[in-house]
């Protein structure tokens, strides 16, 4: 389900805004990476992370990774490559403007420089303190009283300075991380520029039903469900508030059928079926690119804890591999998880969102893939093809959209949405989003610390310093450590599937034809009829 977009910025000329960004993206088209070097860790950072891939360690921002700390338990290398940002400030600004992301890039750079300066100053003061401490250990017995007094005073002053500097450093780091977290991913060169209205329709599959030919008018799922006793919004509002619902009778069976069918379908295509926690720590939510705090946040937070209700299984699935170094043999890693999803839906209202279309809690089967950078575009196409296969099997009329820069949010490099025709939505019917498929490149992997180590042939000579690999004919050795790419796609968002099925399959007698692929999961039921 769509999340309310952040406050939009005025769009500049598409050519002016995205020219530089697309040039940068094209020059790295084989890597599709937010960071220079295809997401590889710098040599220093790579060695530190390899030594303890799940231990949080502070590295100097001058180390190869860039310097922004990852979440608890993740490698401490850069969630944002500040070296790349500083070398491409205008590109980063243009990209943020095109994506309607409110971030002050100059302030990010300024805060980073201030943080880096304090790191250097703090480290130097610690070094001086240690020199004095070592001097007291080795020379105290030989010192005159005056010298000893002076050295003790110097040590106390340095200790106090370190304490002060560490406090300033912590504050500087927090300020820098808060602003740097707003930086969005880069944008695929083929993404259209603009707001939601600029989405490009790639194809339309199927034909909208001719209700007049069937001697009836389209009906809303709200009315259909009421006649068939499928759900109860009034009781749910008394219990939990607006935008909650009870599913009843065949409505409950339809949800279970959709979930079981979707899981069976994707499992047969090589996805590992899973269930996932419905809560995640704030740092995991933020690591996936979602804002856990703020007025515009769509995230429910649990009071007196650092836990949030998840809006998608993408969050716990990404968090599952935070701080991990994956073996190349397991990639691409294909996961499919059922979970409940919770969204505040701030600002969402109107007749087009009534009923089941936009709710605070719903069930969903989500696909999540971790792969190598060079294969992420092919994996993105694979996810989209699987979604289309499933919606075709349900008999839906749908269209595929290449979503524009202003509708990508922060994590996605490119996103395809699929909208089904919903004849009872609004006045005269409308398209309604039922899924999305996003390639997030290394945006989430850098923040979560999801990496893999390349395996390369054993070299007879020196390794290639740029790729971290070497060419040879014998054996294999450990190659460079790289950030993986992550992708996600909706297999089945249950409420909107129910909306589409009810409104497209309702019959003149008020019954609803059950899609053939769902019948084995509903005890052979061919139609939902009034009781």
**Which residues participate in catalysis according to the annotation?**
343, 358, 433, 436, 496
> Contact at 8 Å (CB) between 481 and 521?
no
Q: What is the H or E stretch that residue 232 is in?
A: strand 231-232
Could you tell me the two tokens for 463? 């390794």
Q: Collect all residues with Cβ–Cβ distance below 8 Å to 199 and sequence separation of at least 6.
A: 192, 401, 402, 403, 404, 407, 417
Tell me the three state secondary structure of residue 148: helix
> Contact at 8 Å (CB) between 448 and 326?
no
Burial of 351 (0-12, 13-18, 19+ CB in 10 A): exposed
Q: What is the H or E stretch that residue 290 is in?
A: none
CA–CA distance, 253 with 264 (Å, rounded to integer): 16
Rg over CA atoms, the chain: 27
| 360: preceding bond cis by omega (within 30 degrees) | no
CA–CA distance, 108 with 62 (Å, rounded to integer): 16
Q: What angle do CA 445, 451, 454 make, to 5 degrees?
A: 140
Q: Which residues partner with 414 through β-bridges?
A: 439
CA–CA distance, 442 with 453 (Å, rounded to integer): 15
The 3 state secondary structure assigned to 460-528 is: CCCCCCCCCCCCCCEEEEEEEEEECEEEEEEEEEHHHHHHHHHHHHECCCCCEECCHHHHHHHCCCCEE
């Amino acid at each position: 389900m769509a999340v309310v977009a952040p406050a939009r910025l005025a769009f500049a000329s598409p050519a002016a805004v995205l020219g530089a960004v697309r040039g940068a993206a094209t020059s790295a088209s084989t890597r599709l990476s937010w960071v220079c070097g295809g997401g590889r860790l710098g040599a220093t950072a790579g060695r530190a992370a390899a030594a303890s891939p799940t231990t949080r360690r502070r590295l100097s921002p001058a180390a190869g990774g860039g310097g922004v700390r990852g979440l608890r338990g993740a490698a401490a290398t850069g969630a944002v490559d500040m070296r790349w940002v500083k070398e491409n400030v205008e590109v980063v600004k243009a990209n943020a403007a095109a994506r309607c992301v409110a971030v002050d890039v100059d302030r990010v750079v300024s805060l980073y420089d201030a943080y880096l300066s304090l790191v250097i100053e703090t480290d130097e003061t610690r070094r001086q303190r240690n020199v004095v401490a070592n001097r007291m250990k080795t020379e105290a017995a030989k010192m005159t009283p005056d010298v000893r007094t002076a050295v003790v005073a110097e040590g106390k002053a340095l200790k106090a300075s370190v304490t002060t500097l560490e406090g300033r450093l912590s504050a500087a780091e927090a300020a820098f991380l808060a602003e740097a977290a707003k930086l969005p991913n880069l944008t695929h060169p083929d993404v259209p520029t603009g707001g939601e209205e600029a989405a490009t329709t790639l194809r339309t599959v199927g034909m909208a039903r001719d209700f007049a030919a069937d001697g009836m008018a389209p009906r809303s799922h709200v009315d259909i469900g009421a006649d068939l006793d499928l759900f109860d919004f009034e009781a749910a509002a008394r219990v939990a508030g607006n935008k909650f619902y009870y599913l009843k009778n065949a409505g409950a069976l339809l949800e279970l059928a959709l979930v079981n069918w979707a899981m069976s379908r994707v499992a047969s295509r090589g996805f590992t079926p899973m269930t996932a926690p419905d809560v995640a720590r704030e740092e995991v939510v933020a690591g996936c690119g979602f804002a856990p705090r703020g007025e515009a946040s769509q995230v429910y937070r649990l009071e007196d804890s650092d836990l949030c209700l998840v809006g998608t299984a993408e969050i716990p699935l990404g968090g599952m591999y935070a701080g991990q170094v994956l073996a190349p043999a397991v990639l691409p890693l294909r996961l499919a998880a059922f979970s409940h999803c919770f969204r505040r839906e701030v600002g969402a209202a109107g007749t087009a969102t009534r009923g089941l279309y936009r709710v605070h809690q719903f069930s969903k089967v989500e696909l999540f893939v971790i792969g190598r950078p060079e294969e992420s575009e092919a994996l993105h196409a694979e996810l989209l093809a699987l979604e289309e296969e499933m919606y075709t099997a349900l008999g839906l009329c749908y269209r595929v959209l290449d979503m524009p820069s202003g509708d990508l949010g922060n994590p996605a490099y490119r996103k395809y949405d699929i909208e089904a025709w919903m004849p009872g939505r609004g006045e005269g019917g409308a398209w309604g989003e039922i899924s999305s498929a996003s390639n997030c490149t290394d945006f989430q992997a850098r923040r979560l610390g999801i990496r893999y180590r390349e395996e390369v042939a054993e070299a007879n000579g020196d390794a290639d310093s740029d790729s971290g690999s070497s060419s040879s004919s014998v054996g294999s050795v450990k190659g460079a450590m790289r950030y993986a790419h992550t992708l996600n796609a909706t297999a089945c968002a249950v409420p909107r599937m129910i909306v589409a099925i009810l409104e497209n399959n309702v019959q003149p007698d008020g019954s609803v034809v059950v899609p053939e692929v769902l019948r084995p999961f509903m005890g052979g039921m061919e139609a939902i009829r009034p009781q």
